[in-house]
Amino acid sequence: MVNKKKKKISNRWFVPQGLEPTEMDRKILYWQENGKLVPTPSLIKTQEQIEGIRKAGVLNTGVLDLVQEKIREGMSTLEIDKLVYDYTVSHGGIPAPLNYEGFPNSCCTSVNDVVCHGIPSPDEILEEGDIINVDCTTILNGYYADASRMFIIGKTTPERQHLVDVAWNCLKIGQEICKKPYVFVGDLGNAIQKYAHKNGCTVVRDLCGHGIGLDFHEEPDVEHYGEKGSGMLLVPGMVFTIEPMINAGDWQVCGDEEDETEWIVLTEDGEDSAQWEHTFVMTENGVEVLTH
């Protein structure tokens, strides 16, 4: 589930008094001393926590696999929501979006020009050619995992197919930049932005990916645009999402005037939008995907 950008935090890495700095400590302190944004020790997950997040990711993947099996023309987005709720609860999980800051459902269903946070409805019926993002976040034994997929209903236009493909490639490009630790959020954002622009699309700037695992939205903000070397340093033990929102038109977004919850985000120009998302853990060998 997409995060609204938060206020930037200050550098806060430290080595407990009396302990010798590890190799990771030295690398982080080097960047901190050079004015870069680094994580706090609290953002580094233990192996036990990572295993818990991994199990939540398996359940989250199962939810999206079920949606992929069942989604079809003529289905309401509320039917998708019921699938998500029933599967999650029957497998011992909790749908994290349900009642989160007033969000009324168990998943987000964002169709065509809805960028994110689309609210399932019995009146929204999927039609031939629609593109829809289904975004699920699952809590299992107190651990969170978050992913979304794009689905194409029947046969769509070449333009919508292109947008969905570009969004997928943007996610994979972000993942590729993270094939080794000690890169910056801005490194992956810069690569995603360049690819999107090269392919005639734009990157939403008002919303971003986020840290996750012990809570729904943690630090850092994972922006999908920007300059190399900007944003937070990504180090082993950090868990976060990459979830670029890619627009066919301009990058600007707006709210839906008819949405009393104030959650739904639309493209300002009415053009389509697409998004894919995974949860990752950074390791000494680069990122591992915890959702599929």
The owner of tokens 């993942």 is: 175
First CA to last CA distance, the chain = 15
Q: How confident is the model at residue 232 (pLDDT cuts 50, 70, 90)?
A: very high
Look at residues 57, 240, 123 and name the one whose alpha carbon lies nearest to residue 231: 240
The owner of tokens 């700037």 is: 205
pLDDT above 90 for 2: no
Q: How confident is the model at residue 84 (pLDDT cuts 50, 70, 90)?
A: very high
What pLDDT does 77 receive?
98
* Cross-strand pairs, 183: 234
pLDDT above 60 for 8: no
| Domain harbouring 53, CATH code | 3.90.230.10
Q: Which tens digits make up the pLDDT trace of 96-111? A: 999 999 999 999 999 9
Q: Give the count of domains, the chain.
A: 1
What's the domain range around 243?
24-289
Does some domain include residue 5?
no
Q: Residues 165-174: what's their mean pLDDT? A: 98
Q: How confident is the model at residue 7 (pLDDT cuts 50, 70, 90)?
A: low
Q: Please report which helix (H) or strand (E) contains residue 282, including its range.
A: strand 278-283
Does some domain include residue 33?
yes
What pLDDT does 55 receive?
98
Q: What is the DSSP letter of 155?
A: S
Does some domain include residue 32?
yes
What pLDDT does 11 receive?
62
Judge residue 267's burial from the number of C-beta atoms within 10 Å of its C-beta, 0-12 exposed, 13-18 middle, 19 or more buried.
Answer: buried
The owner of tokens 């570009």 is: 166
Half-sphere exposure of 137 (CA within 13 A, CB side): 29
What pLDDT does 10 receive?
58
Does some domain include residue 9?
no
